[in-house]
Amino acid sequence: MPMTTPSLLILPGDGIGPEVMAEVRRVIDWFGANRGLTFEVSEDLVGGAAYDAHGTPLTDATMAKAQSADAVLLGAVGGPKYDVLDFSVKPERGLLRLRKEMDLFANLRPAQCFDALADFSSLKKDVVSGLDIMIVRELTSGIYFGEPRGIFTEGNERVGVNTQRYTESEIARVARAAFELARKRSNKVCSMEKANVMESGVLWREVVSEIGAAEYPDVALSHMYADAGAMQLCRWPKQFDVIVTDNLFGDLLSDAAAMLTGSLGMLPSASLGAPMENGRPKALYEPVHGSAPDIAGQGKANPIACVLSFAMALRYSFDAGDEADRLEAAVGRVLADGVRTADLILPNDGGAPVSTGEMGDAILGALDSSL
């Protein structure tokens, strides 16, 4: 039986999303033309763009496309023009719906410092040079989804309520994802929570420990309170390899780790779920950065995080690890050559930044050189 062409749904979203995604489309075309790696690509709306067109941040039809696609690649959502909207239809609700209904429970956020950018980090070069860690964040439960939630009136004042809630099975599956990933890296996992003050943290530590001892005795497991983990990320991040943590702490820790590398414009992410019938995990890939409305439409955005998100898709959804390595190496080569968008130029550098499209040109040129 002939193999079907894998499907890829592209959701550019808002702000700089369409600009950085345009460069990814060029990279996708390059792999089709030069490596015989083709995809059935479709495109749709999400976030504010979907609200403007349909009155909702994600239509049921787009949700159905995402459920059936082999992978979803998203740009960014949100912007100040949507701040006045009701919470239920804010652009971010479209992204949360994708994560929830696709059951994308494991969010992989790498923090890798390219050698050419080691001086760009706010930390000393020897602290970040060679940094390569992976934060595995639980994505579909915890305080962002727990009930009850809302703003209520008690007596003569308002009270805001959010509930941190985890089941044993929710913790176990993200722990397994982290342990499996560690086996492909350095066989080391650090689990972070707040077991000293939160019952959900006590359960988290117990379940992760049980899974590690019973199923992954070959993987070294350590535990750390999340606030101490944040401090250690700033002190000596290279002590970590794979970090597994809950939804809230993962959100905070991964953004802190992102800045160790110098720029949010450099960092991709993958959100993975259970395997589909074809064996591929349900998956959504997106840059860690936001929609950056202040520079949208100006050609200033750095497309590297979105390009590297596609590299993660090649690795985790399409079994094309060698081609992912090729793309990541091309990005490294471009940076080593001194090509910089505005976010990668220090105040005293004096260099002229390249545009979004020019960075895309440079990456394609490096890919050509890899043949």
Q: Which residues participate in catalysis according to the annotation?
A: 144, 194, 227, 251, 255
Cβ-in-10-Å burial (0-12, 13-18, 19+) of 80 comes to: exposed
Crossing angle for the helix pair 304-316 and 321-336, nearest 10 degrees?
160
Going by C-alpha positions, the residue among 142, 192, 150 that lies closest to residue 170 is 142
Q: How far is residue 245's CA from residue 178's CA, in Å, rounded to a whole number?
A: 9
Query: Is the CB of residue 335 less than 8 Å from the CB of residue 114?
Result: yes
Q: How far is residue 322's CA from residue 229's CA, in Å, rounded to a whole number?
A: 33
Q: How far is residue 67's CA from residue 62's CA, in Å, rounded to a whole number?
A: 9
Q: How far is residue 171's CA from residue 53's CA, in Å, rounded to a whole number?
A: 38
Instruction: DSSP letter for 147, please.
Output: E
Q: Cis peptide leading into 148, omega within 30 of 0? A: yes
| Coil vs helix vs strand at 42 | strand
